[in-house]
Amino acid sequence: MTVSLFIHATRDAAVAETVAPSSPVIHPKLVLTTTILASSLAFVDGSVVNVGLPAIQASLGGQADTLQWIINAYLLPVSALLLLGGAAGDRFGRKLLLICGIAIFALASALCAIAVTPAWLLSARAAQGVGAAILLPNSLAILGEAFTGEQRGRAIGTWAAMGAVVGAVGPVLGGWLIDTVGWRAIFVLNLPLAISAIVLAWIFVPDKQSEAKYPALDAFGGILATVGLGALTWGLTIGAGGAGWTSGAIIALVIGGALILAFVRFEDVRGKSAMMPLALFGSRSFIGLTLLTFFLYGALGGLLVLLPYALITAGHYSATAAGAALLPFPVVIALASPFVGGLAGRIGPRLPLIIGSLLVAAGFVLMVRIDSSGSYWSVVLPGVLVMAIGMAGAAAPLTTAVLGSVDSAHTGSASGFNSAVSRTGGLVATALLGAVLAARGQELLLEVHTAAIAGALIAIAASASAFALVR
């Protein structure tokens, strides 16, 4: 998850640089520090929880669906409420919403650390997701306001670079904490970060109230999206797990689908004040980019859950080693993204999106070679490197393509919706991993190979979306 969140954050930072208003503040460097600390909460938490799944299961018990919901209970509110969190900051003040989001996240982290049952942990994880949906968009908006001109670009570059550092260090640090202290320490780690961010935000972030009149928050749309996605996720989790496609799974999917259709209809009625303006879908390229994002980030989200789990459970890696196995991913993306972004600026984003997605598919194919005794350097690393190069090729041009696919009045909405779609892809992919997470021994490896082939096909579908629809 950290790698995925880092890519989203880098893309969203580019949007902030493009569309944020200029309004310098008194202590811009301390504001930058505040936004880095606040965003790091989501980055660190996302990385270490994936690595900690086997240890959490050993401590609290639970079946494969419990492991899936440890991830998805967090992703669900982030996916559904991200746009609403940003709109609330515009309306009620970004400083207030940032502090509230951090406080919710911190309290939920403390509850995760003392959880004694799976249900307790899942409830606290959902609360973390709500906090992240509030703090992430407002953190980035505050950063865009604090700097102007060239300084803004430099500040956003620093912010993104720190995201890369967290993306690289987070899994290793989390794995070490799990091996030496226990899985509860990965949630306690959030508390000093949160307290520091709240103190800095309270003192140094200006309390700006916009004089613009905003429409009423689309709260009902947020409820429809959250419950609808939740029902769909529940149905997929049951159907893809050990219970199979029972009547309960089918009913959950039908209810979820009906609620999503109701959400779309409600957004149509709200028009320009909707959290998801349907005018976005008047662009053929935007539709293609939405499909590409859903497929590509769905495949990536499944990998980032599955690979550490398989390495620990079937490959007998320590949590530290499993976290380090993903270390090349954010490093390669951070190093390659500037070059690919410049290339996309010269030749356009379509070709890098097509080729990058195909390289991700090739990386998944290489993952079929994973077994219980193979060397990391010859078996795991090649797939990770190829996939990282492919993601760098696709992620960097994606922001440019999204911004260019709609008119200037919808760039903010388009970027926010695309970011929410990327997280929804990870949500759905995790829901479909039930059979894999329930397997053990050689059966687990066979399921991993099957999932790798599925990931390759999904990445190819992402490439085909860019080829057919992106202009």
* Confidence grade of residue 403 (pLDDT, cut at 50, 70, 90): confident
- For 65-95, what is each residue's pLDDT tens digit? 889 999 999 999 988 888 888 888 878 888 9
Average pLDDT over the chain, rounded to an integer: 86
Is the pLDDT at 147 greater than 80? The verdict is: no
Residues 50, 94 within the same domain:
yes
What percent of the chain shows pLDDT beyond 70?
A: 90
Residues 311, 399 within the same domain:
yes
* Position with higher pLDDT, 217 vs 149: 217
Q: Tell me what the mean pLDDT of segment 272-277 comes to.
A: 81
Write down the pLDDT at residue 73: 92
Q: Tell me what the mean pLDDT of segment 44-59 comes to.
A: 86
Report if residue 214 sits inside a domain: no
Q: Which residues contact 32 (CB under 8 A, 6 or more apart)?
A: 143, 146, 147, 155, 158, 159
DSSP assignment of 303-368 equals: HHHHHHHHHHHTS---HHHHHHHTTHHHHHHHHHHHHHHHHHHHH-SHHHHHHHHHHHHHHHHHGG
- Among 154-158, 177-181, 309-313, which is the least confidently predicted range? 154-158
Is the pLDDT at 168 greater than 90? The verdict is: no
Write down the pLDDT at residue 20: 47
Write down the pLDDT at residue 202: 94
> How many domains does the chain contain in total?
3
* Position with higher pLDDT, 384 vs 438: 384
Residues 162, 259 within the same domain:
no
Write down the pLDDT at residue 419: 84
Residues 470, 366 within the same domain:
yes
Q: Which domain covers residue 238, as residue numbers? A: 219-274
Q: Tell me what the mean pLDDT of segment 452-463 comes to.
A: 96
- State the sign of the Cα–Cα–Cα–Cα dihedral 369, 375, 376, 377: negative
Report if residue 176 sits inside a domain: yes
What percent of the chain shows pLDDT beyond 90?
A: 46
CATH number of the domain where residue 458 is located: 1.20.1250.20
Q: Tell me what the mean pLDDT of segment 28-38 comes to.
A: 89
Residues 244, 158 within the same domain:
no
Is the pLDDT at 60 greater than 80? The verdict is: yes
Is the pLDDT at 11 greater than 80? The verdict is: no
Residues 2, 142 within the same domain:
yes
DSSP state of 82: H
Tokens of 221: 């749309």
Cα 362 to Cα 262: distance, rounded to the nearest angstrom: 38
Write down the pLDDT at residue 275: 80
* Position with higher pLDDT, 467 vs 41: 467
DSSP assignment of 404-460 equals: HTS-GGGHHHHHHHHHHHHHHHHHHHHHTTHHHHH--HHHHHHHHHHHHHHHHHHHH
Residues 312, 435 within the same domain:
yes
* Position with higher pLDDT, 359 vs 218: 359
* Confidence grade of residue 132 (pLDDT, cut at 50, 70, 90): very high
Q: Tell me what the mean pLDDT of segment 112-138 comes to.
A: 94
Write down the pLDDT at residue 19: 46
* Position with higher pLDDT, 75 vs 6: 75
Residues 448, 346 within the same domain:
yes
Q: Tell me what the mean pLDDT of segment 440-446 comes to.
A: 87
